[in-house]
Amino acid sequence: MSEGLYTFVSLDLPALLALVFASVACGLMGNFLVLRRLSLMGDAIAHAVLPGIVLAFLVMMALGRPDQARHPLVMTLGAAASGVVTVLLVETIRRLGRVETGAAMGVAFSIMFALGVLMLEQAAAHQTDLDAECVLYGQLETIFWFPPRQTADLLTFGALSQAPRQVWTLALAAGGVILLVTLFYKELRIAAFDPALATTLGFSARLLHYAQMTVVAVAAVAAFEAVGSILVIALIICPAACARLLTDRLLSQLLVSVAVAVGASVAGYTLGAHAPLWLGAEHSLNAAGSVAVTLGAALTLAIIAAPRHGVVARRLRLFRLAVEVAREDALGLLHRAEEQGLGGLPRVALLATLDAGLAGRLGLRGAVRRGLVSIRNGECRLTDAGRDAARSLVRRHRLWETYLVEHGARPDHVHGPAERLEHARGAGDRAIEPTIDADHDPHGRPIPR
């Protein structure tokens, strides 16, 4: 094994494996919190397990078992108990205080985290080996391994048994979460979208809720020592929120969230641990902080550029809709001009009446391209196909005016709403019109057949 490869395996690989396993464990469970609009619950649990961890640590120290104080099982039991207490506290505050769930979660995790900080200070006052910075920022930089020099010996039982404890703890947590999600996928899916249906089908949505919160607490405490509470929160929320913007199917969302979490973890670790040195800096950046920033950047990119739910995609859809509306409005204006005995309308006057800017110009251009409007010597006229389309549009407009008046609207107040309703589309992109029988609209104008 070369010196460079040995350095990577001993210093970087353990931290990367810890990050990957933490990403899988936290990222998977975060999906069900995001779907149920309980993202803040992940934040609450990540903060609220602190007093459980400290209490478990102090109890073992008081029992004269300092060698067991940092045992993963001890920490997990303390964190799970604290997580369940937090969920119960949130429910109690919400019911008795009659406040929304978000406010109840904010109060609960503030109280629990403050209690944990006080307990940490009490532990520090007694010279107990428990560091607050370790809990907040993690210790990724201190996770290292002394692997064998021969590449063939890396996967032997003896070599793997010497791997850092944090890596094995997080591997078990990730494996447990994957197993639970696989076994109870159907129940978790139904409870996430319709808790009442879940209860009707015979499994308690409330019990599933508490079980999910317990698993989140266990995943959080498994990741605490390695990555810290700040990154745990980011891993629970950011990948799931990012995946939610990229897909509308739960299974795809789970896979995408894991891919985002793992990819951001590897990229963030590389940027934090090595990029500053590549650029000539003397020191690396905090790896956990770099990963959290990378997750935030990934979420920002998804918010902007997601193909369906992103800001750009929504703006493009709205603009395309504005172009389509302008095209139909142009047909309607030309039809009304023909009703008044005018052969057509000047292009400049038509665009000024549309008052739709670029969308209006593109809409008129689209009507010409589709053979609905012809332009000669600067004057716009309907073609035969355009006249049929315009007649259908005007029919819908006047039927909507009639419908609104029949349902109590004043005749002089229905033109604006009808102008919007005439563009409404239903299933299969079919135009919607009221099913009423009328020959004239409320203003006495004939309704085209």
pLDDT for position 123: 66
Q: If pLDDT is split at 50, 70 and 90, which confidence band does 230 have?
A: confident
State whether 353 and 261 are in the same domain.
no
Residue 22 resides in a domain: yes
One domain, residues 323 and 183:
no
Residue closest to 294 by CA, chosen among 221, 216, 238: 238
Q: What is the pLDDT of residue 130?
A: 57
Q: pLDDT band at 47, cuts 50/70/90?
A: confident
CA angle at 374 for the pair 370 and 378, rounded to the nearest 5°:
135
- 372 contacts 333 by C-beta, under 8 angstroms: no
For residue 1, give the 3-state DSSP assignment. Answer: coil
Task: Judge if 57 and 196 occupy the same domain.
Answer: yes
pLDDT at 131: 58
Burial of 274 (0-12, 13-18, 19+ CB in 10 A): middle
Assess if residue 448 is contained within a domain. Answer: no
Q: 262, 292, 307: which is the final residue of a domain?
A: 307
23 plus 156 within the same structural domain: yes
In this structure, the answer to whether residues 410 and 380 fall within a common structural domain is yes
Residues 237 and 171 in one domain: yes
Question: Between 108 and 346, whose confidence is greater?
Answer: 346
Q: Within 13 Å of residue 4, how many CA atoms lie on the same side as its CB?
A: 0
Distance CA 5, CA 241 (A): 36
**Is residue 379 within 8 Å of residue 363, measured between CB atoms?**
no
293 part of a folded domain? yes
Position 202 in a domain? yes
The enclosing H or E element of 196 equals helix 195-200
pLDDT tens-digit readout, 435-445: 888 888 888 88
Q: CA of 85: how far to CAs of 43, 82, 173, 378, 449, in Å?
A: 15, 5, 21, 75, 68
Q: What pLDDT is attached to residue 240?
A: 93
The answer to whether residues 324 and 275 belong to one domain is no
Asked whether 228 and 134 are in contact (CB, 8 A), the reply is yes
CA 225 to chain centre: 26
What integer pLDDT is reported at residue 132 of this predicted model? 58
User: Does 17 lie in the same domain as 151?
Assistant: yes
Q: What is the rounded CA–CA span in Å between residue 171 and residue 111?
A: 31
Domain ranges, residue 345: 314-429
Instruction: Please give the Cα distance from 440 to 377 (Å, whole number).
Output: 35
At 183 the pLDDT is 92
Return the CATH number at 391: 1.10.10.10
- Among 112-126, 176-190, 287-301, 360-374, the range scoring the smallest mean pLDDT is 112-126
Count of domains forming the chain? 2
Q: Which pLDDT value is given to residue 134?
A: 61
Domain final residue pick, 290, 307, 324: 307
Q: What span, in angstroms and rounded, lies between the C-alpha atoms of 243 and 28?
A: 11
In a domain, 411, yes or no: yes
Whether the per-residue pLDDT at 385 is higher than 90: the answer is yes
Residue 97 lies in a domain: yes
Question: Residue range 417-434: average pLDDT?
Answer: 86
In a domain, 449, yes or no: no
- What is the reported pLDDT for 21? 92
Question: Residue type at 211?
Answer: A
Confidence of residue 177 (pLDDT cuts 50, 70, 90): very high
Q: Is the torsion defined by CA of 91, 92, 96, 101 positive or negative?
A: negative
| Boundary-marking domain end, from 250, 272, 307 | 307
Residue 297 sits in the same domain as residue 320: no
Which pLDDT does position 118 carry in this prediction?
82
Top pLDDT among 199 and 125 is at 199
- Does pLDDT of 136 surpass 70? no
Mean pLDDT of the chain: 84
Residues 184 and 215 reside in one and the same domain = yes
| Region 157-164 average pLDDT | 73
The mean pLDDT value for 205-224 works out to 82
Residue 299 reports pLDDT greater than 90: yes
pLDDT(349) > 60 = yes
Token duo for residue 166: 């944090």
Long-range contacts of 388-391 (CB under 8 A, 24+ apart): 389/328, 389/331, 390/331, 390/332, 390/334, 390/335, 391/335, 391/448
Contacts 24+ apart (CB under 8 A), 267-271: 267/294, 268/292, 268/293, 268/294, 268/295, 269/12, 269/15, 269/16, 269/19, 269/140
Q: What is the mean pLDDT of residues 424-448?
A: 85
Averaged pLDDT, 222-249:
87
Residues 302 and 319 in one domain: no
**pTM higher than 0.85, yes or no?**
no
> If you average pLDDT over residues 234-252, what whole number do you get?
92
Q: Quick one: pLDDT at residue 301?
A: 95
Q: Which of 47, 55, 58 is nearest to 111 (CA)?
A: 47
* 322 shares a domain with 297: no
Residue 14 phi, psi dihedral angles, 5° rounding: -60, -40
Is 444 contained in some domain?
Answer: no
In the chain, % of residues over pLDDT 70: 93
The fraction of the chain above a pLDDT of 90, given in percent, is 29
Q: Tell me, what's the pLDDT at 443? A: 84
Output the domain CATH number for residue 232: 1.10.3470.10
152-161, 245-254, 270-279, range with the lowest pLDDT: 152-161
Give the chain's largest Cα–Cα span. Answer: 101
Q: Give whichever of 2-11, 137-146, 415-424 has the largest mean pLDDT.
A: 415-424
Asked if 96 contacts 90 with a C-beta cutoff of 8 angstroms, the reply is no
Instruction: Kindly report which listed range (1-5, 45-49, 129-133, 386-390) carries the lowest average pLDDT score.
Output: 129-133
Give the mean model confidence (pLDDT) for residues 406-411.
89
Cα separation, 170 vs 48, in Å, equals 20
Say yes or no to pLDDT of 133 above 70. Answer: no
Nearest to 177 by CA among 220, 232, 115: 220
Name the pLDDT band for 380 (thresholds 50, 70, 90): very high
